[in-house]
Structure 1
Amino acid sequence: METDRRLPSPDDLLILLTVARLGRFNAVAETLGTTHTTISRRIIALEKQLGGRTLSRTPRGWELTALGAEAVRAAEAIEESLGNLRCALARDADPLAGLVRISTVDGFGAEFVTPALVRLQAEHPRISVEMFSATRKVSQNRSGVDLEVVVGHTDVSTAQSIPLGHYVLRLYAAPGYLQRHGIPQTADELSGHGFVSYVESTLLVEELGHRSTGLPDPRSTFQATSIFAQVEAVRREAGIGLLPNFMVAGREGFEPVLATEFERRLPIWAVARPEALRSPRVQAVVSAIQAEAAARQDLLAS
């Protein structure tokens, strides 16, 4: 008779859920306040208990296998049950009470998603939010989040894409940088300048990187995975940066470069699985983000 397999640890299942949400062990370790090695060890232990691989490595990060998707569904049920228990203990009558998990690009997330969710939470105090910054394309197999806010073109058959509008990327530099290095008058002249952008080797949304712009190779680069680090690098005169217009337009310390010759306009979407959109909480979050983007469309798309 085969020895009974011990049930997997709920903690390990929840770690797998976070990996499914973020896609990378380093990001999971930072979120959970532990180390990459610990996350890897816990996943290995979980896979031993389950008898197979839960994750496969792809250029976009870790993706769930069929077994991993089954395990994540169990983890989601655990979190849903814990959320229901939390509401019951609080004797909460608000139908929007509970946890909503959102993955979003960080600049748009800070400027538009955050105020929308804070306002929604003020109206419904029993809503809890977990927001994860991730600049990536939507995945056919993504699990662990209720809603993804993504940039660029979507091609999904298992989820619903909800348009939030477009935003504009333009070239900016600090006044002091332009005084020292000169103001380029044509795109070709950018080859003599430093350039600030995303780390190309880790970039999952090609439209955000320098390589896809058609601009000449710069003299030097300052690359960062965080758009906030890029904005700060431009402000501190590291070079000319390809930045979201809504983050810097009109701010002191940022001068437009080739303003009439170059811009990039990208669509932004909220994407969710049909089962997630059946949740009143998720519906309310989508509506709040849509309202925020619509109310500030002049800033978003200017």
Structure 2
Amino acid sequence: MEPFDPDQRNLVRSSLDNENILSGQFWGELRVFLAVAKAKSFNRAAEVLNTSQPTVSRQVRRLQDLMGSQLFVPTKHGVRLTPKGQALAQALTRLDHSLFALTNDLKAETKEAEGIVRVSITDGLNTFFVAPAIPTFSAEHPRIQLHLKSPANVVSLRENQTDMMIGFSPIEAADISSRRLGSLHFIPVVAKSYIQQQGIPTRSNLAQHFFLQSEFYTSKTGLWDPWNSAVAKGQIAHFCDNSMAYGMLVKAGLGIGLLGSYTVLEPDAVPLDLDVKMSVPLYALALTERLNAKPVQLVFDWLCDMFGPKNPWFSPEFRLNNPPSRFDIGIKLLFNL
């Protein structure tokens, strides 16, 4: 015999029965707070929200009164989050991500997949592989929209506020699916214009050559030691931590850069034999719950095929003279090769 009647409302009330939860304008004020936290300015947040600065300030003050905590402190350049404000902003960012997943028009039960799928991927892989392949993908799935994003954090799926990402390490978490793909091979590359001005770099003359360095390659993991040893023998011309801009500096002939081996498909790129070769594993990472949506699963499988070991550019063996394949047809069209 049950000790309690399951129909007794005073015993089985849900949290939705509590009329005091987030009452009044609380939801709106949380939205305003998040806009200020992202913009780090009341004025810029007002522009984003299409309202006035006094309105934003008034709603933030009311939210602070309701919470009994100061959420921002003024600075010379805007506002800065307090520890309580930082905790609230992080919680709201997670909520914002969940709401997007709930409200995104992903019609998984319909015959034709439809919706927006967010993908975080480095600029180089995006430019050389994803972008050229989108026309074919869109022809097969015209109702799927891709939102391609540069990763804010190359090791954290959640920090990027995305459905999936192509990363460089697995993530051990119950709510994240991780699939090992191929390997990204890095080699030193220089532009033809650099060779015309400075001569071709070799292992024996690096002292007279210029390098392009990045903080990504200075991490103390040991992986990048061969590159850093070569850089130490020459001179650093510039530093750059934006992958696309880094590649453009190499293309402009400003120095030797460390780039993915696939960049040799660029007609102006010349690979160098400096005894510097390294490989990094690629992983496809996705929120497991989002993979239940048909469009997300389709994009995930598409990317896994593109960056898997079947693609010669990401095979376990390092090769520069890869045979033509369906993976680089779009690249050749992109560069008119």
Counterpart residue type for residue 247 of structure 2:
V
Q: What is the aligned partner in structure 1 of residue 93 from structure 2? A: 72
Cα-Cα RMSD: 4.5
Distance 2:246 2:225 in 1: 16
Specify the alignment match of 1:8 in structure 2.
27
Tell me the residue number matched to 1:192: 208
Provide, for residues 237-270 of structure 1, a one-character-per-residue CA deviation record: whole Å limited to 9, x for no partner.
20111111112x15332222225x1112111111
Quick one: distance in 2 between partners of 1:136 and 1:79?
A: 20
Radius of gyration: which is bigger?
2
1:161–1:271 Cα contact (<8 Å) kept: yes
Q: 1:179 to 1:209 in 2, by over 3 A?
A: farther
Amino acid at match of 2:266: R
Once the two structures are superposed, the pairs formed by residues 31-70 of structure 1 within 5 Å of their partners are 49=63, 51=67, 67-68=88-89, 70=91
Give the alignment partner of residue 266 of structure 1, picking from 273, 276, 280. 280
Match of 1:22 in 2: none
Query: Which residue number corresponds to residue 116 of structure 2?
Result: 99
Q: 1:297 to 1:197 in 2, by over 3 A?
A: farther
Aligned length: 270
Q: 2:143, 2:245 → 1: CA distance?
A: 33
Q: Which has the higher contact order (CA 8 A, sep 6+)?
A: 1
Following superposition, the deviation at residue 283 of structure 1 comes to 1.2
Answering whether residue 270 of structure 2 is matched by residue 255 of structure 1, we say yes
Residues 111-160 of structure 1, C-alpha deviations (whole Å, 9 max, x = no match):
22334554333222221221101264322753621101113x33433422
CA contact (8 A) 2:112 2:143 kept: no
Select which of 107, 125, 137 maps to 1:108.
125
Aligned residues of 1:121 and 1:127 also touching (Cα < 8 A): yes
1:223 aligns with 2:239: yes
Q: Is contact 2:152–2:159 with CA below 8 Å preserved after alignment? A: no
Q: Distance in 1 between matches of 2:224 and 2:129?
A: 25
Contact 1:170 1:264 in 2 (8 A): yes
TM-score, length of structure 1 as denominator length: 0.69
Identity of aligned residues (%): 20
**1:108 to partner: Cα distance:** 0.8
Q: Given the two structures, how large is their TM-score scaled by the length of structure 2?
A: 0.63
Residue 166 in structure 1 maps to residue 183 in structure 2: yes
1:105, distance to aligned residue in structure 2 (A): 0.9
Q: Is the 8 A contact 2:177 2:285 kept in 1?
A: yes
> Which secondary structure does the structure 2 equivalent of 1:8 belong to?
helix
Please say if residues 136 and 205 of structure 1, whose CA atoms lie closer than 8 Å, have aligned partners that are also in contact: no
